[in-house]
Amino acid sequence: MKRNKLFLTKGFIAIMLVAVLIIAGCSSGDENEESADGKTVVDIFQFKVEFKEQFEEIVKQYEEENPDVKIDVQTVGGGNDYAASLKSSFAAGNEPAIFNVGGPTEVEEYRDYLTDLSDTKAAEAALEGTLTGVMEDDKVLGLPYSQEGYGYIYNKEIFEQAGINPEELTTYEALEEAFATIDSQKEDLGLEAVMALPAKELWVMGNHLANTYIAPDFNNDIMEAYEASTIPFSKADELQRMLDLQNEYSVQPVLSLDYSQQVEQLFSTGKVAVIQQGNWIYPTVEQMDAEFAENNIGMIPIPVDGMEGQLPVGVPQYWVVNSQKGEEVQQAAKDFLDWLYTSDAGKDFVLDEFKFIPAYEGYDTERIADPLSQEVYRYSQEGDTIGWVFMASPVGWQEDTMAVNMQRYLSGDISWEEVIEQSAADWENARQ
């Protein structure tokens, strides 16, 4: 028995030692800003899954050119998932040196962690208007990824067969007439319906569709929307009219229709003629049908009274540098972002590999990769744009309030007046 006890005690101590070592091992380590071989370590936590591989490639190239810097990239899926993971990283004390914020609402959230980037070359080269969402007095707190735009993406061949000129669809009436024309020839054109409204996706309705009719309330100015304590909804009727139109001519039931059904199953295979989406769908359509993607799709703006021919263009996300990191890491992070957007090698990547619509000066825009992006760039160049103000609405408002209410309206649960009243009231409450 004695022997046994001794053995047990020893074993017990050994186990506890191992446990202590493991715990100790976990808690140190992340304070290290230099790796073992003396390199400066820059952790990047970014949200764009679509260009993960290309991004890692350019990072490798940068590391080769700058042997004293080591860059670790972590990518987590778009939208809410990214925001949630970023928050957990911060809560766990595992803060990245470079991360992404979406606009003024998130800038406020992470204000204590944001470095002033106004001394970077990239900030200087940023196109006019792309920095408004991340400016604070004279400070530039973020650098834009790229530009994106959305509208009605249509199937050129079907429009041609139905005898419709997309250029003329600048008003609601013209659009309605065109939809009716296509609808009457549905069978001949091999269509399931004129369009696909993915009402299951809160962001398609709450962010994009609603934004088109909310932006004019704030003069298309993201900061004005951010500071507004109330939302006037002066174009509420137009928003209702457009939602009804999309619903009427959509594949049913809209409430269980999602993004992948809309883009992959219906639009890419020619079963619907029009969808409301942005230039980011291009890679997906290209994978489904490269020929169709290259030659047969175009984009037109969503008609808004008094703002005919204007396309909503905005910045999807901004890069920011963590101010709580050491001086050296901050500098290395800034250098990398500068190199990415202003060096020749970086520019080539941004255009050819990332397939971005550049948000910076000094790019050969002839080389913009796909027809949708070219279209968006054209509108942005000519200044025919509607602002993206949805990044400035109260936290969660556009999806959890606006889009959810729109869903309830579509299902007949509440009236349009209630949608507007409730959404306006929620905005006001959040801004008190």
Partner 1 sequence: MKNRSLSFWLFMTPTLVALGLVVFVPFIYGFVYSFTDWNGLQANSFLGFENYIRLFQEEHFLNAIWFTIKFAVVSIVLVNVIGLGLALLVTQKLKTSNLFRTVFFMPNLIGGLILGFIWQFIFVSAFNSAGQLLGLEFLQGWLSDATTGFWGLVILNAWQYGGYIMIIYIAYLEAVPQELMEASEIDGANPFQRFWKVTFPLVAPAFTISMFLTLSNAFKMYDQNLALTGGGPFKSTEMIAMDIYNTAFSDYDMAFAQAKAVIFFILVAAVALTQVYYNKKREVDL
In this chain, which stretch among 185-193, 198-206, 289-297, 359-367 interacts with partner 1, using CB under 8 A? 198-206
Q: Is 253 in the site for partner 1 (CB under 8 A)?
A: yes
Q: What are φ and ψ of residue 384, in 5° steps? A: -85, 70
Q: Is 254 in the site for partner 1 (CB under 8 A)?
A: yes
Q: Out of 29, 91, 128, 188, name the contact with partner 1 by CB under 8 A.
A: 91
**241-to-182, 202, 208, 248, 402 alpha-carbon distances in Å:** 19, 18, 15, 10, 16
Residue pair 155/263 in contact by the 8 Å Cβ criterion: no
Residue pair 189/204 in contact by the 8 Å Cβ criterion: no
In this chain, which stretch among 217-225, 239-247, 253-261, 332-340 interacts with partner 1, using CB under 8 A? 253-261
Q: Out of 121, 271, 378, 408, name the contact with partner 1 by CB under 8 A.
A: 408
Distance of closest approach, residue 321 Cβ to partner 1, in angstroms: 17
Distance of closest approach, residue 64 Cβ to partner 1, in angstroms: 36
CA neighbor of 105 nearest in space, from 426, 428, 401, 398:
398
Residue number, 38 or 412, with CB nearest to partner 1 = 412
CA dihedral 17, 19, 21, 26 (to 10 degrees): -170
Cα 319 to Cα 333: distance, rounded to the nearest angstrom: 10
Type of residue numbered 395: V
Residue number, 297 or 420, with CB nearest to partner 1 = 420
At 224, is the secondary structure helix, strand, or coil?
Answer: helix
Q: Is 423 in the site for partner 1 (CB under 8 A)?
A: no
- Near partner 1 in 287-346, by CB under 8 A: none
Q: Is 283 buried (19+), middle (13-18) or exposed (0-12) by CB count in 10 A?
A: middle
**176-to-35, 237, 271, 311, 364 alpha-carbon distances in Å:** 61, 15, 19, 19, 38
Distance of closest approach, residue 227 Cβ to partner 1, in angstroms: 19
Residue number, 88 or 415, with CB nearest to partner 1 = 88
- Near partner 1 in 95-134, by CB under 8 A: 109-110, 112
DSSP output for 246-303? HHHTB-S-GGG--HHIIIIIIITTTSEEEEEEEGGGHHHHHHH-HHHHHHSEEEEPPP
Distance of closest approach, residue 320 Cβ to partner 1, in angstroms: 14
Distance of closest approach, residue 54 Cβ to partner 1, in angstroms: 27
In this chain, which stretch among 88-96, 216-224, 237-245, 285-293 interacts with partner 1, using CB under 8 A? 88-96
| Binding characters for partner 1, 361-400, by CB under 8 A (x = yes) | ----------------------------------xx--xx
Q: Is 21 in the site for partner 1 (CB under 8 A)?
A: no
* Per rule CB under 8 A, count of chain residues that contact partner 1: 40
DSSP state letter for 352: I
Phi-psi region of 137 (alpha: psi -120 to 50; beta: other; left: phi over 0): left
Residue number, 365 or 422, with CB nearest to partner 1 = 422
In this chain, which stretch among 14-22, 43-51, 65-73, 164-172 interacts with partner 1, using CB under 8 A? 14-22
**288-to-105, 195, 266, 270 alpha-carbon distances in Å:** 36, 18, 11, 11
Distance of closest approach, residue 408 Cβ to partner 1, in angstroms: 5
Cis? peptide before 312, omega within 30° of 0: no
Q: Is 3 in the site for partner 1 (CB under 8 A)?
A: no
Q: Is 12 in the site for partner 1 (CB under 8 A)?
A: yes
Residue number, 102 or 346, with CB nearest to partner 1 = 102
Q: Residue 295 is encoded by which pair of tokens?
A: 């030659």
CA neighbor of 169 nearest in space, from 361, 8, 318, 311:
311
Q: Is 87 in the site for partner 1 (CB under 8 A)?
A: yes
CA dihedral 402, 407, 413, 418 (to 10 degrees): 20
Residue number, 172 or 259, with CB nearest to partner 1 = 259
Catalog residues that contact partner 1 under the rule CB under 8 A: 4-5, 8-9, 11-12, 15-16, 19, 23, 80, 83-84, 87-88, 90-91, 109-110, 112, 199-200, 202, 252-256, 261, 395-396, 399-400, 404-405, 407-408, 410-411, 413
